[in-house]
């Protein structure tokens, strides 16, 4: 029985726990940690089309690097990067488009351009207007737990540094519970909420491994779980590999994440991770359509 129900995103329905969905990353930041930043609309559209052919169920378009120490960009610059791409993709690909944004102005323009989902790395806690936008547009929101310390954001003073907590999963659950409470107060339907533990965001490499190992504990929040482990530094730490050589480490983290409860995986290498998901789903969920 599907206890999480169905989430409508654009013209697509995501039926949770039947199989794992793949989110392909369209990265428009030239200083991305993963080394896959795109600098023009045509390249982004070409990559998006390839991802859809390879089996991506949704695309996540972002214009600002999340790499620690990355230079900040202006709202206007971020809009200039993402909006033209979303406008094109909303007309030219068949899967839903998500915008990776936590600033109200960027998210609002992206939704107007055709984004059908918002991926908020601050879990609606950077700008109070984001919850209102999600409620008004009746679109899904990905709520990520972010343990980085920022000088901005309306509850920035409440954020903990990694050195100040001992149980990383308890801290993540508390953060996500508060984000879900924001959605409740804003009258955002539970079916429009997805949670993400925020691998790499204010956690050290050991804590990232622990989060994947204990991912099943997030099921208690009653919402679909997204994980984004692709090419991240904790994999590089374990394997001694640069971002472009972390494919197998990513595959391992995706497979174990699915075994422990992940419903969506956010990845850079779509073709390979679609196969990892297909095999993992056959083992974990007994999902192998068309095979007798």
Question: 3-state class of 84 per DSSP?
Answer: helix
Contact indicator for 7, 226 with CB cutoff of 8 Å = no
Distance CA 88, CA 102 (A): 22
Residue 266 appears among annotated catalytic residues: yes
Instruction: List Cα–Cα distances, 1 to 19, 218, 249, in angstroms.
Output: 13, 19, 32
Query: What are 226's strand-pairing partners?
Result: 264
CA–CA distance, 123 with 223 (Å, rounded to integer): 14
Contact 124, 114 (CB under 8 A): no
d(CA 175, CA 181) in angstroms, rounded, equals 10
Beta carbons of 20 and 264 less than 8 angstroms apart: yes
From the candidates 232, 275, 285, 292, give the one annotated as an active-site residue. Answer: 232
- Which positions ≥6 away from 277 have C-beta within 8 Å? 19, 20, 22, 254, 258, 265
User: Catalytic residue at 232?
Assistant: yes
Neighbours of 3 (CB within 10 A): 8
* Catalytic pick among 266, 278, 285, 292: 266
The closest alpha carbon to 191, from 66, 16, 56, belongs to 16
Q: How many CB atoms within 10 Å of residue 137?
A: 18
By annotation, the residues acting in catalysis are 232, 266
């Amino acid at each position: 029985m599907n206890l999480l129900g169905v989430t409508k995103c654009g013209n697509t329905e995501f039926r949770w726990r039947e199989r794992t969905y793949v989110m392909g990353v369209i990265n428009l930041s030239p200083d991305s940690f993963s080394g896959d930043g795109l600098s023009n609309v045509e390249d982004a559209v070409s990559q998006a089309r390839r991802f859809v052919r390879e089996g991506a169920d949704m695309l996540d378009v972002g214009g600002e690097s999340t790499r620690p120490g990355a230079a900040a960009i202006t709202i206007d610059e971020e809009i200039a990067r993402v909006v033209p791409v979303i406008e094109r993709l909303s007309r030219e690909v068949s899967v839903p488009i998500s915008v990776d944004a936590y600033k109200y102005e960027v998210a609002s323009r992206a939704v107007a351009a055709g984004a059908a989902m918002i991926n908020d790395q601050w879990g609606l806690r950077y700008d109070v207007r984001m919850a209102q936008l999600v409620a008004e547009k009746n679109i899904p929101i990905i709520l990520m737990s972010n343990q980085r310390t920022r000088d901005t954001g309306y509850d920035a003073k409440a954020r903990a540094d990694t050195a100040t907590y001992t149980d990383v999963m308890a801290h993540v659950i508390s953060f996500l519970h508060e984000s879900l409470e924001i959605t409740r107060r804003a009258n955002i339907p539970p079916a429009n909420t997805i949670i993400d533990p925020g691998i790499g965001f204010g956690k050290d490499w050991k804590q990232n491994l622990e989060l994947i190992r204990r991912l099943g504990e997030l099921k208690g929040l009653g919402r679909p779980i997204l994980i984004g482990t692709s090419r991240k530094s904790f994999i590089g730490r374990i394997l001694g590999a640069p971002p472009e050589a972390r494919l197998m480490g990513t595959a391992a983290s995706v497979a174990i994440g699915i075994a422990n409860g992940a419903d969506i995986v956010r990845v850079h290498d779509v073709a390979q991770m679609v196969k990892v998901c297909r095999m993992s789903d056959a083992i974990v969920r007994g999902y192998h359509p068309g095979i007798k």
